[in-house]
């Protein structure tokens, strides 16, 4: 038997013995294209899951404070890089189900990205505010880019870091209201281009799937900040300004996320801060072309890979609900109540299933995205983010 399979079999005996028996009986090395990880935020662990058989294969522990953790993958999809709240950066071997390397690189962090060439991992930090860059293989420090602003003594929290073509990382400075683009073609000498006064309190950012546009959501005002990475000399533009139309927005009990640009055809679907609405934006003109009333304040707005559906989850007190928008009609076609505190949603590579983490029920639920039938339930300890390996090959993920 192959060593890799042996190892995985040994480590996962508790969680998925039956499912693995089949795998163990055959002496083949498996791929990772249908694997993923589920973050268990309370216990500082991740589960490695198999999206073909809807089972958990193993649990890897010892990853620190995983509240608000996120994950990127090495381009061979062999390793998951897990970014913890406590500044931990952990490289997890999916096949051996063990920690390959782990460092604590800052006091307080919010996420990270992997470079276009797969050689660099960048982490966005709150404390100390800035971005630190590491060698993807060894996690050795490569570059440190403090997010100084104003008179140069203050450091801003950094949010919304993504990779972009040209071995660049793009991110936003929450306290400063700036967007920075760091070019790491020479990793030892980052070249940083700064865009000032992009808007109040950028809370998250994302990049379009083609890597062309960086978009930062603004908490402090109605609107988004847009940077054309093909033509950065044109500067940051404000789009969707005043979508609240001066109306008092509602209190926000969970910050919306811009995990991945939800694109269906030419239209993007964006959470409206402080409103029970999803904004529909024409990606050619960057104008609002519609809005869909939904059950609560959207947190994640995620398009199925084919773009036909957009799934939305919500801030408390509506966080037991998920709604599905049919992008052809622009209408809600399904309202699900998976359970208490639905935190995240992830589609399988071609979208036949959606996996939902239901934190307070300690479950991950798998739905058929056509029939909306619940097809599997996996136990998990306060599950939050779910990340599947196809992210390894997507710009911005």
Partner 1 sequence: MSAGARRCVVAFFMGVGGLAPQFASADLTAARQQALRNLLIQDCGSCHGSTLKGGLGPALTPAALAGKPAVVLQTVILQGRPGTPMPPWAPFMTEPEAAWLVEQLQTGVPNGQCNK
What is the contact surface with partner 1 in residues (CB under 8 A)?
A: 41-42, 65, 67-68, 85-86, 107-108, 110, 126-127, 157, 159, 174, 201, 203, 219-220, 251-255, 316-317, 341, 359-360, 382
The residue (of 78 and 344) whose beta carbon lies closer to partner 1 is 344
Phi, psi of 218 (to 5 degrees): -110, 130
For partner 1, the closer CB: 255 or 376: 255
Residue 221 beta carbon to partner 1: minimum distance, rounded to whole angstroms = 11
Taking CA atoms, 378 is separated from 54, 176, 335, 356, in Å, by 8, 42, 21, 10
The smaller minimum CB distance to partner 1, of residues 294 and 343, is found at 343
Q: How far apart are CB 230 and partner 1 at their closest, in Å?
A: 31
Q: How far is the CB of 219 from partner 1 (least distance, A)?
A: 6
Q: Which is nearer to partner 1, 64 or 165 (CB)?
A: 64
CB-neighbour burial class of residue 298 (10 A; exposed 0-12, middle 13-18, buried 19+) = buried
| Cα gap 57→263, rounded to integer Å | 32
124 sits in which H/E element: strand 120-127
Shortest Å, Cβ 141 to partner 1: 23
Whichever of 203 and 355 has its CB closer to partner 1, that residue is 203
Whether residue 108 is preceded by a cis peptide bond, meaning omega within 30 degrees of 0, is: no
Residue number, 67 or 193, with CB nearest to partner 1: 67
Q: How far is the CB of 300 from partner 1 (least distance, A)?
A: 13
- Exposed/middle/buried for residue 247 (C-beta within 10 Å: 0-12, 13-18, 19+): exposed
The residue (of 264 and 273) whose beta carbon lies closer to partner 1 is 273
The least distance separating partner 1 from the CB of residue 355, rounded to whole angstroms, comes to 20
> How big is the CA angle at 119 (ends 113 and 121), to the nearest 5 degrees?
30
Cis amide linkage into residue 317, ω under 30° from 0: yes
CB of 195 to partner 1, least distance (A): 21
Q: Would you say 266 and 257 are in contact if contact means Cβ atoms under 8 Å apart?
A: no
Q: Is 307 left (phi over 0), alpha (psi -120 to 50) or beta?
A: left
| Partner residues linked to 387 by β-bridges | 37
């Amino acid at each position: 038997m192959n060593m890799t399979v042996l190892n995985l079999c040994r480590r996962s005996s508790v969680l998925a013995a039956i499912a693995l028996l089949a795998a163990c009986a055959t002496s083949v090395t498996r791929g990772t294209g249908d694997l993923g990880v589920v973050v268990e935020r309370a216990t500082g662990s991740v589960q490695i899951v198999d999206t073909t058989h809807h089972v958990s294969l193993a649990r890897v522990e010892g990853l620190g404070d995983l509240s608000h953790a996120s994950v990127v993958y090495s381009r061979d999809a062999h390793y998951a890089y897990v970014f913890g709240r406590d500044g931990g950066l952990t490289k997890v071997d999916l096949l051996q189900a063990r920690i390959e390397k782990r460092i604590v690189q800052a006091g307080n962090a919010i996420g990270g990205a992997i470079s276009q060439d797969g050689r660099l991992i960048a982490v966005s930090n709150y404390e100390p505010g800035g971005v630190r860059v590491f060698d993807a293989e060894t996690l050795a420090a490569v570059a440190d880019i403090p997010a100084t602003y104003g008179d140069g003594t203050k450091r801003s929290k950094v949010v919304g870091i993504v990779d972009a073509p040209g071995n660049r990382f793009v991110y936003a400075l929450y306290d400063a209201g700036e967007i920075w683009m760091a070019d790491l073609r020479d990793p030892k000498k980052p070249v940083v281009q700064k865009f000032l006064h992009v808007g109040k309190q950028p809370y998250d950012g994302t990049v379009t799937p083609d890597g062309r546009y960086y978009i930062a959501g603004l908490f402090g005002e109605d609107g988004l900040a847009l940077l054309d990475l093909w033509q950065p000399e044109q500067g940051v533009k404000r789009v969707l300004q005043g979508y609240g139309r001066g109306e008092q927005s509602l209190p926000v009990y969970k910050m919306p996320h811009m995990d991945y640009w939800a694109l269906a055809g030419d239209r993007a679907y964006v959470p409206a801060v402080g409103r029970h609405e999803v904004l529909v934006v024409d990606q050619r003109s960057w104008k609002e072309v519609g809005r869909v009333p939904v059950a609560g304040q959207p947190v994640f707005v995620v398009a199925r890979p084919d773009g036909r559906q957009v799934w939305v989850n919500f801030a408390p007190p509506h966080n037991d609900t998920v709604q599905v928008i049919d992008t052809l009609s622009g209408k809600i076609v399904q309202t699900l109540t998976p359970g208490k505190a639905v935190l995240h949603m992830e589609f399988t590579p071609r979208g036949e299933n959606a996996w939902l983490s239901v934190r307070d029920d300690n479950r991950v639920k798998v739905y058929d995205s056509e029939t909306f039938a619940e097809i599997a339930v996996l136990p998990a300890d306060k599950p939050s983010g779910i990340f599947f390996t196809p992210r390894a090959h997507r710009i911005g993920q």
